[in-house]
Amino acid sequence: MTEFDNLAHEWRRLICELFGTMFLVLAGAGPTVVDALAPGSVPHSLAVVSPGLMVMAIILSWGRSPGRT
Protein backbone atom coordinates (compact mmCIF):
# COMPACT_ATOMS: atom_id res chain seq x y z
CA MET A 1 0.00 0.00 0.00
CA THR A 2 2.89 2.37 0.58
CA GLU A 3 3.88 2.17 -3.09
CA PHE A 4 0.36 3.16 -4.15
CA ASP A 5 0.58 6.31 -2.03
CA ASN A 6 3.84 7.31 -3.75
CA LEU A 7 3.17 10.64 -5.46
CA ALA A 8 5.90 9.98 -8.03
CA HIS A 9 3.42 7.70 -9.84
CA GLU A 10 0.49 10.12 -9.64
CA TRP A 11 1.01 11.55 -13.14
CA ARG A 12 0.81 8.04 -14.62
CA ARG A 13 -2.49 7.37 -12.88
CA LEU A 14 -3.87 10.71 -14.05
CA ILE A 15 -2.85 10.03 -17.67
CA CYS A 16 -4.44 6.58 -17.53
CA GLU A 17 -7.61 8.13 -16.13
CA LEU A 18 -7.65 10.79 -18.84
CA PHE A 19 -7.14 8.35 -21.73
CA GLY A 20 -9.52 5.79 -20.23
CA THR A 21 -12.28 8.38 -19.95
CA MET A 22 -11.60 9.69 -23.45
CA PHE A 23 -11.73 6.22 -25.00
CA LEU A 24 -14.86 5.27 -23.07
CA VAL A 25 -16.71 8.41 -24.21
CA LEU A 26 -15.50 7.80 -27.76
CA ALA A 27 -16.77 4.21 -27.67
CA GLY A 28 -20.08 5.26 -26.12
CA ALA A 29 -20.91 8.17 -28.41
CA GLY A 30 -19.03 7.08 -31.54
CA PRO A 31 -21.48 4.48 -32.87
CA THR A 32 -24.41 6.86 -32.38
CA VAL A 33 -22.65 9.65 -34.28
CA VAL A 34 -21.61 7.33 -37.11
CA ASP A 35 -25.14 5.94 -37.36
CA ALA A 36 -26.55 9.47 -37.49
CA LEU A 37 -24.22 10.35 -40.37
CA ALA A 38 -24.79 7.07 -42.25
CA PRO A 39 -28.13 5.58 -41.12
CA GLY A 40 -28.17 1.82 -40.81
CA SER A 41 -24.38 1.45 -40.87
CA VAL A 42 -24.01 0.53 -37.18
CA PRO A 43 -26.18 -2.27 -35.77
CA HIS A 44 -27.83 -1.56 -32.41
CA SER A 45 -26.07 -4.54 -30.83
CA LEU A 46 -22.66 -3.08 -31.73
CA ALA A 47 -23.59 0.31 -30.27
CA VAL A 48 -24.61 -1.40 -27.01
CA VAL A 49 -21.57 -3.68 -26.74
CA SER A 50 -18.84 -1.22 -27.78
CA PRO A 51 -18.45 0.59 -24.40
CA GLY A 52 -18.06 -2.76 -22.63
CA LEU A 53 -15.48 -3.91 -25.15
CA MET A 54 -13.60 -0.65 -24.71
CA VAL A 55 -13.52 -1.09 -20.92
CA MET A 56 -12.22 -4.63 -21.43
CA ALA A 57 -9.51 -3.40 -23.82
CA ILE A 58 -8.45 -0.65 -21.40
CA ILE A 59 -8.23 -3.09 -18.49
CA LEU A 60 -6.24 -5.59 -20.56
CA SER A 61 -3.83 -3.00 -21.89
CA TRP A 62 -3.36 -0.90 -18.73
CA GLY A 63 -4.42 -3.50 -16.19
CA ARG A 64 -1.73 -3.01 -13.62
CA SER A 65 -2.06 0.47 -12.27
CA PRO A 66 1.33 2.21 -12.03
CA GLY A 67 2.65 2.13 -8.53
CA ARG A 68 0.73 -0.97 -7.44
CA THR A 69 2.44 -4.27 -6.81
Q: Whole-prediction pTM value?
A: 0.69
Q: Is residue 48 part of a domain?
A: yes
Q: Is residue 54 part of a domain?
A: yes
Q: Is residue 47 part of a domain?
A: yes
Domain interval for residue 58: 7-62
Task: Provide φ and ψ at 5, rounded to 5°.
Answer: -80, 0
Task: Write out pLDDT tens, residues 11-27.
Answer: 878 888 898 899 999 99
Query: What's the structural domain count of the chain?
Result: 1
Q: Position 35: which residue type?
A: D
Question: Could you tell me where the DSSP H helices lie in 1-69?
Answer: 10-37, 44-62
Q: Is residue 50 part of a domain?
A: yes
Q: Is residue 45 part of a domain?
A: yes
Q: Is residue 1 part of a domain?
A: no
Q: What pLDDT score was predicted for residue 7?
A: 78
Q: What pLDDT score was predicted for residue 68?
A: 53
Q: Which of 5, 6, 13 is nearest to 64 (CA)?
A: 13
- pLDDT, mean of residues 35-43: 93
